[in-house]
Amino acid sequence: MIDLLSTSQILLRDAGFTVRLSSVGHRPVVCFEDDALVGFCSAFDRAGELVEGWKAFESEILTRFAADIRAASEKAWNVYCVFLCAGSTDAVQKREVTWVEEDLDRTRKVAACDIASREDLVRVLLPVLPVQYQPALQHEDLTARLQKRIADIAPQAAHAILDPEIPVSEAVRLLGERQ
């Protein structure tokens, strides 16, 4: 089973957030902040515990960190509470957990259960993580690619451009010819 708070700390720190571990009552909380937002991440043992306790815990968080949130000035409108649970859920509890995110009072919320891997946690944290894009580059022969591009522009020059035996002046002349 994944350690949700430790892994969250690592993911958030790697994403550029300032991260610290604190506690509210008896529950540990990962506090995170960047130039745009302030957030609090906590983990619950069971989905039922999350569904039943998130609202009271959100109030505790807001009370405990009220001064910090006020000091965040313009970021104070962009406060996130992230409620996580590694335990499995049934369909009813899954629906109830999604309703947590639909509650627009006080903070923005991210809530999820059935988090079994680091990849699951990354998917859950996407609303607070910076935009991530990994282009998939294909391995290809760059010389062939360049020749193909040249052939699209000046077909008569494609064979000559990369041939070291052909003078540069001839290659330039071929590039300038129109078909």
pLDDT tens for each residue of 83-142: 999 988 888 988 999 999 999 899 999 999 999 999 999 999 999 998 766 666 677 787
- pLDDT of 176 over the 80 cut: no
Give the pLDDT confidence score for residue 49 in this predicted structure: 93
Across residues 52-68, what is the average pLDDT? 95
Query: Can you give the pTM of this predicted structure?
Result: 0.72
Strand partners, 84: 43, 112
Amino acid identity of 157?
A
Cβ pair 76, 70 in contact under 8 A: yes
Alpha-carbon dihedral angle through residues 159, 165, 170, 171, given to the nearest 10 degrees: 40
Give the pLDDT confidence score for residue 83 in this predicted structure: 97
Across residues 159-175, what is the average pLDDT? 82
Average pLDDT of every residue of the chain: 89
Cβ pair 9, 33 in contact under 8 A: no
Q: Which residue has the higher pLDDT, 162 or 22?
A: 22
Strand partners, 79: 38
Segment 146-165, tens digit of pLDDT? 888 888 888 888 778 788 88
Strand partners, 32: 19, 39
Cβ pair 85, 46 in contact under 8 A: yes
Q: Using the structure block, give the residue that is written with the tokens 């041939």.
A: 163
- pLDDT of 52 over the 90 cut: yes
83, 160, 89: which is closest to 124 by C-alpha? 83
Give the pLDDT confidence score for residue 132 in this predicted structure: 67
30, 22, 89, 85: which is closest to 53 by C-alpha? 85
Give the pLDDT confidence score for residue 170 in this predicted structure: 85
Q: Using the structure block, give the residue that is written with the tokens 């002046």.
A: 169
- Sorted by where each begins, the domain ranges of the chain are 4-125, 142-176
Give the pLDDT confidence score for residue 135 in this predicted structure: 65
Count the Cβ atoms, other than its own, within 10 Å of residue 152: 9
The C-alpha atoms of residue 103 and residue 63 are separated, in whole angstroms, by: 18
